[in-house]
Amino acid sequence: ETGVTQSPTHLIKTRGQQVTLRCSSQSGHNTVSWYQQALGQGPQFIFQYYREEENGRGNFPPRFSGLQFPNYSSELNVNALELDDSALYLCASSRDVVLNTEAFFGQGTRLTVV
Amino acid sequence: DAKTTQPNSMESNEEEPVHLPCNHSTISGTDYIHWYRQLPSQGPEYVIHGLTSNVNNRMASLAIAEDRKSSTLILHRATLRDAAVYYCILRALFGNEKLTFGTGTRLTIIP
């Protein structure tokens, strides 16, 4: 059973650019959630995808968008990058959106916006 | 989302038990209590969860107060590898599985 993998591990972008982060969910998991973690803070929920549909969104602007593919892998896209977008972006997968099951996190992508 | 309150930091000696407290006075009857931890430079890791009864697994034990307004995560014999930020999270029985993290408790293990 493979775990949650994220790519790339580190990324440096310029303000105003666009970025795509990728996540492969754990085998058998159909739900993927994305979180943003600023330095010294707990992770903040961005949005969740369940069977390729968005299923809940946190307090993030529309320039944060996502996608889930038929194999349940997922992408997080951020347009018009701002300096405050610098953070660790975490992907978590789980077996089912309804049941109170545990979430499995990847190691994250460290995004630096300069 | 119901809120939890945890101490910012705690220290413990290696090979001794650790009790990490969490207050959740506004918990509703259908909220589960989840604990996650985040080791340095890693994503959060599930530790344990429970509803009303105390729970045990290979990593830890969860003691839940009778009124459910507080809980304690117990690491029976701390090792250096247990140094991490521990998050206590309330999660609705049915919902979209969003995890609402606070700032957690930073646990330091003293060799």
| Whether residue B65 has pLDDT greater than 60 | yes
Which tokens hold the place of B109? 């293990």
Average pLDDT score over chain B: 92
State whether residue B38 is helix, strand or coil.
Answer: strand
Contacts of B29 (CB under 8 A, 6+ apart): none
> Per-residue DSSP letters for B40-109?
TTS--EEEEEESSS-EE-SS-EEEE-TTSSEEEEEESS--GGG-EEEEEEEEESSS---------EEEEE
Closest CA to B99 of A44, A87, A18: A44
Which tokens hold the place of B53? 């009864």
Phi, psi of A16 (to 5 degrees): 95, -20
CA distance B34 to A76: 26
Residue reference for tokens 């309330």: B90
Chain B residues closer than 8 Å to A105 by CB: 43-45
**Poorest-confidence range of A5-9, A96-100, B35-39, B55-59?**
A96-100
Minimal-distance CA residue of chain A relative to B35: A102
At residue B93, the pLDDT reads: 74
At residue B92, the pLDDT reads: 82
Residue-wise pLDDT for A44-102, tens only, equals: 999 999 989 998 899 999 999 999 999 999 999 999 999 999 999 999 998 876 666 78
| Whether residue B48 has pLDDT greater than 90 | yes
Cross-chain CB nearest to A106 (options B43, B46, B96): B43
% of chain B beyond a pLDDT of 90 = 81
Minimal-distance CA residue of chain B relative to A39: B103
Contacts of B67 (CB under 8 A, 6+ apart): none
Chain B, 16 to 35: residues with Cβ < 8 Å from chain A are: 32, 34
- Is residue A66 within 8 angstroms of chain B, CB to CB? no
At residue B30, the pLDDT reads: 86
Tell me the shortest Cα–Cα distance from B14 to chain A, in angstroms: 25
Which tokens hold the place of A94? 């789980």
What's the mean pLDDT in A6-33? 95
> Per-residue DSSP letters for A42-101?
--EEEEEEETTEEEEE-S--TTEEEEE-TTS-EEEEE-S--GGG-EEEEEEEES-SSS-P
